[in-house]
Chains A and B, each alone.
Chain A
Amino acid sequence: AQSVTQPDIHITVSEGASLELRCNYSYGATPYLFWYVQSPGQGLQLLLKYFSGDTLVQGIKGFEAEFKRSQSSFNLRKPSVHWSDAAEYFCAVGAGRNQGGKLIFGQGTELSVKP
């Protein structure tokens, strides 16, 4: 069965420092992969997605992610974190064909940013 693991429940980084959020997935075929961000009390916003092609994908707000098939990973990165990046981040994988477009979400990583 498909699954997504985000090993870090909470991460704190200093403003201006680089960021990497980890995501590992379990999926039998080439996955559709996503990163979403959620500010407190808000819905989820799509940061970026990977369907095929170039394994380094660029998203909004200066984020990027790299698909590594050999490691079953899709880690999210940002070179310089801003205070406004403090939020919860969710990695997700598409559940596969004939699954109604369902996504399987990780448990999320909460990001705090120190001034």
Chain B
Amino acid sequence: SQTIHQWPATLVQPVGSPLSLECTVEGTSNPNLYWYRQAAGRGLQLLFYSVGIGQISSEVPQNLSASRPQDRQFILSSKKLLLSDSGFYLCAWGGQGIQYFGAGTRLSVL
């Protein structure tokens, strides 16, 4: 069966520091991959999605970037975090029209 791993679960970072969040999927090949952000009390905002290795689509202009170095690995990065980058980050993989979500990373930028 397919599983999705996302880490770390919680992260506290100072403003201006770099960021790297990792997501990996097991049990499937060539999945679509997604990064979402969920601000407190708000819905999900799609940040990036990828339909294959090295193929990244950005949904909103921002301080973040994404990369897909391997088929089942999706990385969310920032060179310098802003206070506004705080939130709950969710990775998801998609197959046959359905998306399956990881457990999320709570990022606090102080």
Residue A101 interfacial (CB < 8 Å): yes
Contact of B97 among A32, A36, A106 (CB under 8 A): A32
Q: Which residues of B contact A (CB under 8 A)?
A: 6, 32, 34, 42-44, 46, 49-51, 57, 88, 90, 92, 94, 97-104, 106
Contact of A49 among B57, B88, B98 (CB under 8 A): B98
Q: Which residues of A contact B (CB under 8 A)?
A: 32, 34, 36, 41-46, 49, 51, 90, 94, 100-103, 105-108
20 cross-chain CB contacts under 8 A: A32-B97, A42-B103, A43-B102, A43-B104, A44-B44, A44-B101, A45-B101, A46-B99, A90-B43, A100-B49, A100-B51, A101-B32, A101-B97, A101-B99, A103-B46, A103-B99, A105-B44, A106-B43, A107-B42, A107-B43
Interchain CA distance A107-B49 in the complex, whole Å: 20
> Does A43 contact B90, Cβ atoms closer than 8 Å?
yes
